[in-house]
């Protein structure tokens, strides 16, 4: 028995049996109902603390109910009760058992937390002196761990009557970090910088509405723990991909930490009233408990073998499919239930419109590998609440055969890194392997990657098209740095993607050379336009529109400082107006967001895309693989139309190029270089304000959008 346990007075109160559902702590008339799952524990104690969470007051044995649930009803307590659990059972790591009642455990269903976590040796479930960790540690960790706090009964989110979730075909995603977006944004009140309330303030909303984005994809907003190596280096897990309490909005992101729930709900309601959908990044692939040397904080101590995937021939070890030391076992019915309960809470109570799943193949990992029909996916698609929200997958994890782009079921949309690499490579002049990107590869990605997604009745919107995200370089850095500059992360510049497709145009980092700066500007703008004009679902990374830089750091996960915060005064140029014009064009022109696939040989009642060489002729088989030039164009025709509605012209070359566009007359809508008309070699080339037929001079490293003007004899 621990010293703390011996010091406790005999419990003057007891738990009545109560109910096994719902899991967690629920306030009812006359008291609080507690229930927690453990398939293998012999007994579990409910531990009550004072309001600060510093003094343990009582340990109350819970009743063992049905189907592995321990339960109890505690009378005469209510909102604000601070508690944790201690689980008793076998300590036999080689068999997957890691019960240790000396470790206070956080309720997986906690709605709010109390205290601040401190890394201490007492969190270890095993005795460090034992050579293989096969003996339990007898020290109490309660003084240094987090406790749960009972919250008021949940109320349904107040959804605006005007708010209906947009279909993906009408959506433009915008990935942002709540703190990073608001910390330095002009107009955000000082007290609200870095918070949920800051994201809902008028200055933030004004920028989002000016851009025209529709859907905010928020990096993790749940309570997390900073990894011990980061703390030892004086850093934090800024991104938040280390969730410890999945139901709890992070106090670190709240202007009023004691009211984080209310502040988050108010933020969502405000954003939705302004017309935005809100998606949450959710981390169901691992927990902060790490590998076998990690701390015992919650899941491990409650039922290690149920919550985690263990190595079959040595169950003291964890399968590390996440790359973070452990992997949650979503194949277990109680873990699937937990994940669905978490999501349902964030939709029904907190009001969000969907989720982006980090390292999503973990959700479908069965014993033989990834299975699109895994229990989690089946349950998700059948859930009456969750079946109607957006699902976005990061379709790779760190395990064997972890790359699963295109294999997710149903209405899943998926981050398409093939689009990212092809678009970057096309405009930069080299792809992931140093070779020039063929026009065939670029065209395939521009039309939503049918080779990956055109199966199982999936639509082009399944491809989430992006060129940058939180993970990797910003767009300004993609065109300014060829090498990693991650020394500030404290890992010897070894972390971060070592082979990102990027180019510095002859100078590593910032440059005063006008030609270098102009080349970077043009390529940056062409890539933004490509993303917003492509078939599929576009996603922008916050700050790219204003030239935000991380000074070459392509893994700023631990940089809670100006490196990781958006720089709204970035020197690389403001492309906000271009982005806004492109998004408005996308909204107005249905040919830019067809919900169906282009047919190879379209009928008259089907939309079509026609690809053209620079001389105006149709692209032939040999042209698709000819890398001597990258320039070409496409015309898009609506279903049933006799003539094309629009055309998009691509010139990735470092020189201006005359390109013939048949079937005119045409009028230019957008030209990304901002230099049109360039100096022409022929007086017959058109000026931008005039309709033209035939040849147009396309500036170097630029993209041009044209609209066909109907002839006088045609119906308008």
Q: SS3 of 588, please?
A: helix
Structure tokens at 201: 């303030």
Structure tokens at 134: 């096969």
CB 389 within 8 A of CB 355: yes
E strand segments, 562-656: 608-612, 632-637, 646-651
Question: Closest Cα partner for 256 from 266, 246, 244?
Answer: 266
- Bridge partners for 657 per DSSP: 698
- Based on the residue annotation, tell me whether 394 is a catalytic residue of this protein: yes
Locus of tokens 């398939």: 39
What does the alpha-carbon distance between residue 381 and residue 412 come to, in Å, rounded to a whole number? 10
What does the alpha-carbon distance between residue 265 and residue 510 come to, in Å, rounded to a whole number? 41
Q: What is the CA radius of gyration of the chain?
A: 28
Strand ranges across the sheet with 43-49: 56-61, 43-49, 82-88, 147-149, 113-114
Question: Closest Cα partner for 302 from 134, 110, 118, 154?
Answer: 110
Instruction: Please classify residue 120 by burial: count the beta carbons closer than 10 Å to its beta carbon, then call 0-12 exposed, 13-18 middle and 19+ buried.
Output: middle
Plot region of 505 (φ>0 → left; ψ -120 to 50 → alpha; else → beta): left
- Bridge partners for 694 per DSSP: 661
What does the alpha-carbon distance between residue 445 and residue 453 come to, in Å, rounded to a whole number? 11
- Based on the residue annotation, tell me whether 358 is a catalytic residue of this protein: yes
Dihedral (Cα; 94, 96, 102, 107), 10-degree rounding:
160
- Catalytic-labelled residue, pool 394, 545, 572, 623: 394
What does the alpha-carbon distance between residue 315 and residue 299 come to, in Å, rounded to a whole number? 15
Q: SS3 of 388, please?
A: helix
- Catalytic-labelled residue, pool 140, 358, 560, 656: 358
Spell 71-105 as b/e; 16+ CB within 10 A means b.
bbbbeebeeebbbbbbbebebebeebbbbbbbbbb
What does the alpha-carbon distance between residue 215 and residue 194 come to, in Å, rounded to a whole number? 19
Tallying the residues shown for the chain, one arrives at 716
Spell 234-244 as b/e; 16+ CB within 10 A means b.
ebbbbbbbbbb
SS3 string, 471-509, reads CCCCHHHHCCCCCCCCHHHCCCCCCCCCCCCCCCCCCCC
Active site residues: 358, 394
């Amino acid at each position: 028995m621990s010293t703390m346990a011996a010091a406790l007075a005999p419990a003057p109160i007891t738990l009545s049996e109560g109910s096994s559902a719902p899991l967690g702590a629920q306030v009812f008339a006359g008291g609080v109902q507690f229930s927690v799952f453990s398939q293998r524990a012999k007994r579990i104690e409910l531990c009550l603390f004072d309001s600060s969470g510093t003094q343990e007051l009582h340990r109350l044995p819970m009743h063992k109910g049905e189907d592995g649930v321990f339960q109890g009803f505690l009378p005469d307590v209510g909102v604000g009760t601070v508690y944790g659990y201690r689980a008793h059972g076998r300590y036999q790591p080689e068999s997957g058992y890691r019960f240790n009642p000396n470790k206070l455990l956080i309720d997986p269903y906690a709605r709010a937390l109390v205290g601040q976590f401190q890394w201490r040796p007492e969190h270890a479930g095993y005795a460090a002196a034992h050579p293989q960790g096969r003996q339990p540690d007898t020290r109490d960790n309660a003084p240094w761990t987090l406790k749960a706090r009972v919250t008021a009964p949940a109320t349904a989110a107040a959804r605006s009557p005007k708010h209906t979730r947009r279909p993906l075909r009408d959506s433009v995603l915008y990935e942002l970090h709540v703190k990073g977006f608001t910390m330095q944004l002009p107009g955000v009140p000082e007290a609200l910088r870095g918070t949920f309330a800051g994201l809902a303030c008028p200055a933030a909303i004004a920028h989002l509405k000016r851009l025209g984005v529709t859907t905010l994809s928020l990096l993790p907003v749940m309570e997390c723990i900073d990894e011990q190596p980061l703390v030892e280096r004086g850093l934090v897990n800024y991104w938040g991909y280390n969730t410890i309490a999945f139901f709890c909005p992070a106090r670190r992101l709240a202007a009023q930490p004691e009211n984080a729930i209310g502040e988050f709900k108010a933020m969502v309601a405000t954003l939705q009233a302004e017309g935005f959908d809100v998606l949450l990044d959710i981390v169901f692939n691992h927990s902060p408990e790490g590998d076998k040397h990690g701390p015992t904080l919650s899941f491990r101590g409650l039922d290690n073998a149920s919550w985690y995937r263990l190595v079959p021939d040595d169950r003291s070890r964890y399968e590390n499919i996440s790359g973070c030391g452990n992997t949650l076992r979503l194949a277990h019915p109680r873990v699937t239930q937990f994940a669905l309960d978490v999501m349902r809470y964030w939709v029904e109570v907190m009001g969000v419109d969907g989720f982006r799943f980090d390292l999503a193949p973990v959700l479908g990992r069965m014993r033989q590998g990834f299975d699109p029909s895994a229990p989690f996916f089946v349950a998700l698609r059948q859930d009456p609440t969750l079946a109607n929200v957006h699902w976005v997958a990061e379709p790779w994890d760190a395990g064997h055969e972890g790359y699963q782009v295109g294999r997710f079921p149903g209405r899943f949309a998926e981050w398409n890194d093939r689009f990212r690499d092809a678009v970057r490579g096309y405009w930069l002049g080299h792809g992931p392997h140093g070779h020039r990107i063929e026009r065939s590869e670029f065209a395939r990605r521009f039309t939503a990657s049918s080779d990956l997604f055109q199966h199982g009745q999936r639509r082009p919107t399944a491809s989430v098209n992006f060129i940058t995200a939180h993970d990797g370089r910003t767009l300004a850095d993609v065109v300014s740095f060829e090498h990693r500059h991650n020394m500030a992360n404290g890992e010897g510049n070894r972390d971060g993607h070592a082979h990102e497709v990027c180019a510095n145009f002859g100078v590593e980092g910032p440059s005063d050379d006008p030609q270098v700066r102009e080349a970077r500007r043009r390529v940056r703008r062409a890539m933004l336009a490509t993303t917003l004009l492509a078939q599929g679902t576009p996603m922008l990374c916050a700050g790219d529109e204003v030239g935000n830089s991380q000074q070459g750091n392509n893994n700023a996960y631990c940089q809670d400082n100006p490196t990781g915060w958006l720089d709204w005064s970035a020197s690389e140029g403001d492309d906000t107006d271009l982005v806004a014009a492109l998004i408005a064009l996308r909204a107005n022109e249905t040919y830019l967001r067809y919900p169906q696939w282009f047919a190879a040989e379209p009928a008259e009642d089907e939309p079509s895309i026609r690809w053209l060489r620079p001389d105006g002729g149709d692209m032939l088989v040999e042209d698709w693989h000819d890398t001597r030039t990258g320039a070409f164009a496409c015309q898009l025709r609506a279903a049933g139309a006799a003539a094309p509605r629009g055309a998009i012209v691509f010139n990735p070359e470092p020189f201006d190029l005359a390109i013939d566009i048949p079937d005119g007359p045409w009028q230019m809508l957008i030209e990304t270089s901002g230099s049109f008309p360039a100096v022409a070699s022929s007086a017959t080339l058109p000026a931008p304000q005039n309709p033209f037929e035939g040849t147009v001079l396309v500036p170097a490293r630029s993209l041009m959008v044209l609209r066909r003007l109907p002839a006088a004899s045609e119906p308008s």
